[in-house]
């Protein structure tokens, strides 16, 4: 048995190396794909997704145990198509050589910037939105003219196998390759020209260390504990619907899901009443196909351990469905946790499940201090009708992104970049910023027929001093 395992691993390593060499050689033959080539690749990607929606949704649901088809359609299929179409419409403009400022003293000179492809890009994808988080970076990377190798999560076995077949049908392997059954360690060993990883901070650090061996630039999307703040001027009933629908979408297995709620003491009872009314209407039972399963037994047990820890340490645990968590279905009821304390796992770790800790506050400044005492989150959710309050919170905190009076909607906007900061990641993709992330902005200086620098060359003397002093006084 050990020999078989070792043989399988060596074959996978060999496959990664061979595909990397294949793509590197192809890039060297065509280091600047034309606009038409890039548009054609994006068109094929759109056709691949649209023509196989049913199979994609079925594969994702199989990997989860159960995932609502509608959640896959709106969050992943539509999200991918929207980004592809947005990019295709604007790519010609993005690719243009940019003219830059030239000082008056250097008349005749040209300063320009050309966005050029970096080369071979590695995309390491998580299981929670496996299509969106593969295709999103892929759109940015191939629009920038790169070639891409994609490693999907072990929990995405059915989708990985399907996409492997589909991409082989639509794309040559030297342009885009899905590599199933390959570990992150094996996959990240190559000297890629850029690497993007979406997942946990722990694995993200490992990926960054591997990239450092080759000085490969990295984009990291890492998640974290994203807070939602309901301010005193906002209707808690409206906030409850928006926060909870986002939190329990995909059973909370979303990197930008609100991870905890900060709410004024006087608004808590209204929020709880709305929660008890809304959630049973959305999900009448755990058997509902509209309610997604926890991805595997390990994750299910982890979330139950969080709840047990909170109970034992004195928190109030409030399930919003009158049922017990179902291990067979791997489903955990939408749950609120009141009065959590800092020693509880729920406040120390990213939850990644349908559990929402709720903290009450009296002073908004205290909530800002509390948020700033933690790692910088991937998202921040502000519920307030006051522009002054919104601005105060935004300018007093830092996060990957901000959403005002809703949750997670900023991620679905094709013209907004998406990325973290600090413990929640680095770099960004989507929109024009995604194109830039996977491009080398190459500065190009073209000298005039007569160089203005000649008087500044040796032998130095009074002429140099006069010109130098003039330059210091000269206003551009």
Element (H, E) at 292: none
DSSP class of residue 375 equals: P
Contact 114, 32 (CB under 8 A): no
Q: What are the backbone angles phi and psi of residue 454, rounded to the nearest 5°? A: -55, -45
Cite the beta strand spans of 75-225 per DSSP E. Answer: 98-100, 110-117, 120-124, 147-151, 176-178, 194-198, 218-221
Residues near 6 by beta carbon (within 8 Å), at least 6 away in sequence: none
Instruction: Determine whether 322 is exposed, middle or buried from the number of CB atoms within 10 Å of its CB (0-12, 13-18, 19+).
Output: exposed
Residue with tokens 């606009």: 35
Residues near 417 by beta carbon (within 8 Å), at least 6 away in sequence: 428, 429, 430, 431, 432, 433, 434
Strand, coil or helix: 157 = helix
DSSP class of residue 386 equals: -
Distance CA 327, CA 90 (A): 48
Distance CA 158, CA 64 (A): 10
**Going by DSSP bridges, is the β-strand pair 98-100/110-117 parallel, antiparallel, or unpaired?**
antiparallel
* Cis previous bond, 459, omega within 30: yes
Q: Convert 364-387 to b/e letters by CB count within 10 Å (16 or more is b).
A: beebbeebeeeebbbbbbbbbeee
- Percentages (nearest 5) of helix, strand, coil residues in the chain: 50, 15, 35
Residue with tokens 């490969």: 216
Cα dihedral: 293, 297, 299, 301 (round 10):
110
Distance CA 256, CA 377 (A): 9
**Residues designated catalytic:** 221, 255
Element (H, E) at 237: helix 236-248
Please report, for residues 13, 22, 179, 311, the alpha-carbon distance to residue 18 in angstroms, rounded to integers and kept in the order given: 9, 6, 11, 52
């Amino acid at each position: 048995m050990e020999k078989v395992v070792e043989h399988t691993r060596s074959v996978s390593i060999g496959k990664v190396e061979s595909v990397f060499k294949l793509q590197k050689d192809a890039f060297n033959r065509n280091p600047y794909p034309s606009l038409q080539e890039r548009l054609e690749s994006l068109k094929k990607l759109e056709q691949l997704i649209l023509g196989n929606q049913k199979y994609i949704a079925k594969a994702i649901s199989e990997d989860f145990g159960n995932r609502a088809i509608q959640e896959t359609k709106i969050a992943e299929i539509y999200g991918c198509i929207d980004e592809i179409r947005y990019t295709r419409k604007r790519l010609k403009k993005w690719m243009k050589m940019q003219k830059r400022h030239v000082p008056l003293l250097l008349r005749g000179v040209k300063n320009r910037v050309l966005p050029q492809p970096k080369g071979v890009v590695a995309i390491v994808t998580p299981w929670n939105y496996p299509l969106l988080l593969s295709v999103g970076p892929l759109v940015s990377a191939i629009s920038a003219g790169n070639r891409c190798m994609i490693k999907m999560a072990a929990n995405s076995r059915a989708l990985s196998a399907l996409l492997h077949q589909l991409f082989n049908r639509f794309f040559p392997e030297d342009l885009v390759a899905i590599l199933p059954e390959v570990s992150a360690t094996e996959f990240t060993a190559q000297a890629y020209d850029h690497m993007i990883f979406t997942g946990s901070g722990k694995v993200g650090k490992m990926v960054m260390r591997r990239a450092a061996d080759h000085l490969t630039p990295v984009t990291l999307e890492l998640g974290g504990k994203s807070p939602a703040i309901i301010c005193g001027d906002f209707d808690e009933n409206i906030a409850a619907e928006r926060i909870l629908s986002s939190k329990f979408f995909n059973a909370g297995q979303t990197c930008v899901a609100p991870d905890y709620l900060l709410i004024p003491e006087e608004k808590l009872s209204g929020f709880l009443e709305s929660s008890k009314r809304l959630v049973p209407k959305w999900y009448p039972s755990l058997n509902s196909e509209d309610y997604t399963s926890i991805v595997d037994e390990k994750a299910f047990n982890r979330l139950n351990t969080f709840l047990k820890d909170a109970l034992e340490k004195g928190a109030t645990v409030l399930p919003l469905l009158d049922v017990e968590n179902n291990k067979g279905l791997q489903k955990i009821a939408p749950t609120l946790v009141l009065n959590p304390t800092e020693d509880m796992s729920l406040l120390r770790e990213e939850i990644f499940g349908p559990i929402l800790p709720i903290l009450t506050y009296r002073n908004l400044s205290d909530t800002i201090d509390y948020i700033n005492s933690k790692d910088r989150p991937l998202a921040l959710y502000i519920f307030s009708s006051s522009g002054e309050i919104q601005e105060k919170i935004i300018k007093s905190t830092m996060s990957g992104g901000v959403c005002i009076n809703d949750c997670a909607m900023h991620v679905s906007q094709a013209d907004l970049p998406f990325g973290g900061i600090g413990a929640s990641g680095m770099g960004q993709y989507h929109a024009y910023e995604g194109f830039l992330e996977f491009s080398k902005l190459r500065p190009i200086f073209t000298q005039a027929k007569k160089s203005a620098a000649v008087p500044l060359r040796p032998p130095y003397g009074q002429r140099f001093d006069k010109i130098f002093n003039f330059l210091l006084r000269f206003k551009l």
